[in-house]
Structure 1
């Protein structure tokens, strides 16, 4: 059983008991490929990211989380959008924490490092833009990645 379960607009979803500001990062390399991780908690592919710690800025969290999960150092370059849909609920089965989605998605460029898995990522890969659709993602992550790939104005929702 995965240790993270995502629910969307599901009447059987548990009631959220936490709201954790988090960040995801759409990092690209010189070839224009997108950095993706395969999450260890649910097996889905995703942008690197995680909770923003007390005492750090949003860009600092983005750089730290990307390095921790992927071995890649990045430089933040912009914003894809904000994602706070209360219909998206995330259950962590290891401790019963149930979060309402709250994520800021930033863009970044690769500065240094090689893709390296971590305790949170079983695989880390640079993925060609045309190949991203073939990677299994949660509905919410797919939307974030699509918004990035479309180059649309920042999403607020």
Structure 2
């Protein structure tokens, strides 16, 4: 389902849902970050998605990384919480979701890169390569927080 991101846009539609979600900065032994090009908006992003009933936040991050990238990961820490009410996602079905994401830190433990119905490309990037990729502001913020060693608790 296509999605459009609005960040601090006075013309953004009003949020009508709040869904807990996890994203993961997955870093390999060479210091590269795992990213996917989202099928719904064409932008590069961290693996992640909404938390399902019956799973922990860590389990959500592990599941989403595997589903979207083919990489098995383990969670090693937390980058921060991102709950900006000025950032909403509008979906074609009428849902307008307020951001509510906990960004975790992880490392790969197996698997092979593959795309999914949610990703059109998946690859590893050095932190410098990330700077040139099209990415929504909130995802770039998470990557930059990790890169700079800033691990905000509340955002």
- TM-score, scaled to structure 1: 0.96
Distance (Å, rounded) in 1 between the aligned partners of 2:137 and 2:29: 28
- Number of the residue aligned with 1:55: 54
- How big is the shift at 1:10? 1.1
SS of residue paired to 1:36: strand
- Number of the residue aligned with 2:41: 42
Aligned pairs, how many? 155
Unaligned runs of 5+ in 2: none
- Number of the residue aligned with 1:73: 72
Are the counterparts in 1 of residues 78 and 151 from structure 2 also a CA contact under 8 Å?
no
Are the counterparts in 2 of residues 17 and 97 from structure 1 also a CA contact under 8 Å?
yes
SS of residue paired to 1:142: helix
- How big is the shift at 1:66? 0.3
- Number of the residue aligned with 1:147: 145
- How big is the shift at 1:32? 1.2
SS of residue paired to 1:62: helix
CA deviation profile, 1:59-93 (whole Å, cap 9, x unmatched): 00000000000000000000000000000011011
Distance (Å, rounded) in 1 between the aligned partners of 2:152 and 2:114: 29
| Structural mapping, 1:5-154, within 5 Å | 5-93=4-92, 95-154=93-152
Supply the RMSD in Å over aligned alpha carbons. 1.0
Runs of 4+ in 1 over 6 A off after TM superposition: none
Distance (Å, rounded) in 2 between the aligned partners of 1:32 and 1:152: 17
